[in-house]
Homo-oligomer: A and B are copies of this chain.
Amino acid sequence: MCPPLITLTTDFGSADGYVAQMKGVLRGLVPEAVIDDLAHDIPAHNVWAGALFLEGAIPRYPAGSVHVVVVDPGVGTQRRPMVASWRDRLVVCPDNGLLTLLWRREGAGPIYEIGLPCAVPGVPKVLSATFHGRDLFAPVAAFLARGGRPEHLGSPLADPVRLPFPEPLVLEDGIVVGQVIHVDRFGNAVTNMDRQLFPPEAAAGAVRIGLERAPEKEMEIRLVRTYGDIQPGELAALINSGDRLELATHADSAARLWNIQAGARVILRAVLA
């Protein structure tokens, strides 16, 4: 039998010790578990960045895994702590939209509010008003990793917070107007345009893609297969490993070189027959 598997994703950084404290609590409660740090450098308070992260990571983890996610600017207020089931994985996090993109891919499973006070072992009588990751989410994850059932934690949560997703606009003439939604470590600019917008033959370059540089001023860019196909000094587009259109350049940061930020408009003009 496999040991329980718990992952941690936060915007805490590591140097201040918040993550270390959470791990210490988990090690004390569920010493047999495997604990994976996924990331602790989600941009501070950035729930949207957390949602994008989880969309890629959670589906890759096996069924039965328990995921603690703490990007929690509303800690200690009326925002609700919750446990969400998603395709046999469990996510313990604040109800602030972190699961928006997972739910968009494949509808939400059962969600439970973690009722307070919480009688799970390891939860102190008085929670820190500023650190539920340590005092609530970690003990709850330990409880779940040992087979505890989410429905024992509280009532169903029927109306979880969802963030608005900026869907691409499909205009009447077939033009699609998308936008950059994330810039990664390499300076690659990920858009909201899914692979489905591009028929398979499009991979051969049979599309016209533009990056809007100013109103009615557009820079045309090639669609290529992979980074190595891009020429030095060229801005190009490809379908990335998350099945989204992404702007990139050769061995450098496209975002920096072309000053591309989240919100930049990317236009799909035509799929050439």
- Name A's B-contacting residues (CB within 8 A): 2-3, 5, 7, 9, 11-25, 27-28, 31-32, 34-45, 49, 52-54, 56-62, 65, 73-77, 79, 128-131, 134-135, 182, 184-186, 225-229, 238-241, 251
Contact = CB atoms under 8 A, between A and B. Distances in A.
A268 B152 CA distance: 44
23 contacts: A2-B32, A7-B20, A13-B184, A14-B38, A14-B41, A16-B182, A16-B185, A18-B56, A20-B39, A24-B58, A24-B61, A28-B62, A31-B62, A37-B37, A45-B186, A75-B226, A76-B229, A77-B229, A128-B241, A129-B238, A130-B226, A130-B238, A131-B240
Contacts of A77: 226, 228-229
A59 B56 CA distance: 33
Contacts of A28: 60-62
Nearest to A29: B62
Contacts of A59: 24
Nearest to A7: B20
Contacts of A18: 56, 241
Q: How many copies does the complex hold?
A: 3
Contact of A41 (B15, B56, B229): B15
Given A18-B241, A23-B61, A131-B241, 4 more contacts: A23-B60, A24-B57, A75-B226, A76-B226
Nearest to A77: B228
Given A32-B2, A74-B228, A131-B241, A15 B27 contact: no
A60 B227 contact: no
A3 to B, nearest CB: 8
Q: Which of A34, A53, A58, A228 has the most CB of B within 10 A?
A: A228
A60 B23 CA distance: 8
A62 B14 contact: no
Contacts of A40: 14
A81 to B, nearest CB: 13
B44 A185 contact: yes
B251 A45 contact: yes
Contacts of A38: 14, 17, 19-20, 23
Given A16-B185, A77-B228, A60 B21 contact: yes
Nearest to A15: B41
Nearest to A64: B31
A192 to B, nearest CB: 16
B60 A36 contact: no
